[in-house]
A and B are shown apart, each in its own frame.
Chain A
């Protein structure tokens, strides 16, 4: 199956791309994507404690199962608004 993976902020910068299509085996989960990214960017594991993932605009966990056409995103710690 194919899914779209989006990268924002520090992830966009580190991976040098804002999104890509990924071909995954049936039964793949969010973790499958993280493991694949770890091969390219080993330091990403250090972000896992504070980083979240989303599937189709909803927060997800590593165990969330994926389906054809899903939109997955790596969500670094959010910092919108202002510091007050």
Chain B
């Protein structure tokens, strides 16, 4: 399951998307809306996505995980629109025979999501101001290779 949605994300839906009798572990990750950024109070967040490309890139990340760890059951869901403090913005689920691979693959999925999946976050501060968030450091890791060799991604 690779999905951009305006609906509330539940743990049950992402877990059910990956579970199976050969899994010894299901690793779930939820990203949630925090009430501050570097101490500055946040009122809420707004997410925008390019849905067809985002879902395509999520499926490519799953393929990378299949190539690296041999794990074929990965789910990624990202919510868009206005999200309140504490709500789940993103969920990743990975099923694996053993927990070590599951933890590693889940972390990898989130890092890659922040590099290549076209989703943008806007912080609405408690004082009423708003701004688009600057990219996470992991984003820049992918920029240079892509510029010199666009075929690598």
The residues of A with any CB-CB pair to B shorter than 8 Å are 6, 8-10, 12-13, 50, 52, 54, 57-61, 64, 73, 75-84
Contacts and interface: CB of A to CB of B under 8 A. Distances in A.
Nearest to B56: A57
B143 A79 contact: no
Interface in B58-96: 78, 89-90
Contact of B134 (A13, A58, A77, A81): A77
Contact of B118 (A12, A54, A61, A83): A54
A80 B52 contact: no
Nearest to A64: B150
B150 A80 contact: no
B22 interface: no
B114 A79 contact: yes
* Chain B contact residues, majority secondary structure: mixed
A83 B37 contact: yes
B3 interface: no
A52 B135 CA distance: 13
Given A80-B47, A81-B89, A59 B132 contact: no
Contacts of A61: 147, 150
Nearest to B30: A82
B1 interface: no
Nearest to A6: B50
Which of A13, A79, A80, A81 lies at the interface centre, i.e. has the most chain B CB atoms within 10 A of its CB? A80
A82 B86 CA distance: 12
B53 A54 contact: yes
A75 B150 contact: no
B120 interface: yes
22 contacts: A6-B50, A8-B48, A8-B50, A8-B118, A9-B120, A10-B120, A12-B48, A50-B140, A50-B143, A54-B50, A59-B146, A59-B150, A61-B147, A64-B150, A79-B120, A79-B132, A79-B133, A79-B139, A81-B110, A81-B113, A81-B136, A82-B33
